[in-house]
Amino acid sequence: MAITTTDCPDLKLLARGKVRDLYDVDENTLLFVATDRISAFDVVMKNGITCKGKILTQISEFWFDYLKDVVPHHLVTCDVDKMPAAVQKYRSQIDGRAMLVKKLKILPVEAIVRGYISGSAWVEYKKKGTMCDIPLPEGLRESEEFPEAVFTPSTKAELGEHDENIHPDKLPGMIGEKLAKELAETAIKLYTKARNYARERGIIIADTKFEFGVDTDGTLVLADEVLTPDSSRFWPADKYTVGQGQPSYDKQYLRDYLTSINFDKATGVELPATVVDNTISKYVEAFTILTGKAPRL
């Protein structure tokens, strides 16, 4: 059974995002609960993908640990036994899908890194020869790898709104020049390390998005989820072919289904059982390949 919403009345609910329910725990920590809600084109579907939230949480836990030498992260624990008693009482709802995290001042941008041209970047390139208004060489083909990974930030939209890609030159005006430079460099380092790891295991990370905050000392900290099938494009390396769209382990399967039914990109729909089953099987497969073990479902 999919858990599409949580109810933890003794904790203060701060927000319900597209996927996560966010609770205030104490003066230092928050509780991120990954539900089984799924969104596409910034619209939440009517039904959830059973156990999806558990996979997202566990894959983020894996990446936070793997990337901890690049930048500090906000994760305190995913183990309910190590969480405060006020949180433990909701174990039946949150076990396996919750992260206790440090409170941060979250930056108002998403740090997107693209290693290959795909998705909205490919659409823009075909129209204007640019990506996020960054001029690109002529003659690129769909899904082609860039010589070097490219940082393309976006604004963070409210629920129901659409994120907006922005030119990196606009970032200093939003968060300051020093922080903008550090954020861009850190995002590239994170992507590069993860891309190389995944490639050795047969998965291409075509692109991904990171979110960051700063702590009370002004230190840049990696936040939210990390390198999940929700926030990244994962392609099977053995099926990679330049010049076309790629099969994927991520939400592209869902996006393709919605496109096939002429989805209006405004109102969530009820997903058929086949789409639910095929989507979760792709998430499980990606998790298993990347971590070398099966998820705890």
Supply the pLDDT for residue 168.
Answer: 93
Predicted confidence (pLDDT) at residue 260 exceeds the cutoff of 70:
yes
* 180 neighbors 188 (Cβ within 8 angstroms): no
Q: What is the pLDDT of residues 173-208, one digit of tens each?
A: 999 999 999 999 999 999 999 999 999 999 999 999
Please count the other Cβ atoms lying within 10 Å of the Cβ belonging to residue 167: 13
Q: Topology of 106-263 in CATH? A: D-amino Acid Aminotransferase; Chain A, domain 1 (3.30.470)
Tell me the pLDDT band of 30, cut-offs 50, 70 and 90: very high
Give domain limits for the chain.
12-104, 106-263
Supply the pLDDT for residue 41.
Answer: 87
* 229 neighbors 250 (Cβ within 8 angstroms): yes
State the Cα–Cα distance between residues 12 and 98, nearest whole angstrom. Answer: 15
DSSP state of 206: E
Six-digit token string for 266 = 């405004």
Q: What is the pLDDT of residues 231-242, one digit of tens each?
A: 999 999 999 999
Predicted confidence (pLDDT) at residue 162 exceeds the cutoff of 80:
no
Predicted confidence (pLDDT) at residue 161 exceeds the cutoff of 80:
no
Supply the pLDDT for residue 159.
Answer: 54
Reported as type and span, the H/E element at residue 203 is strand 203-214
Q: What is the pLDDT of residues 128-142, one digit of tens each?
A: 999 988 999 999 999
Phi, psi angle pair for 16, to nearest 5°: -120, 115
DSSP state of 77: E
Predicted confidence (pLDDT) at residue 49 exceeds the cutoff of 70:
yes
Give the SS3 label for residue 254. Answer: helix
The CATH label, of 3.30.200.20, 3.10.20.30, 2.60.120.620, 1.10.150.120, for the domain at 12-104 is: 3.30.200.20
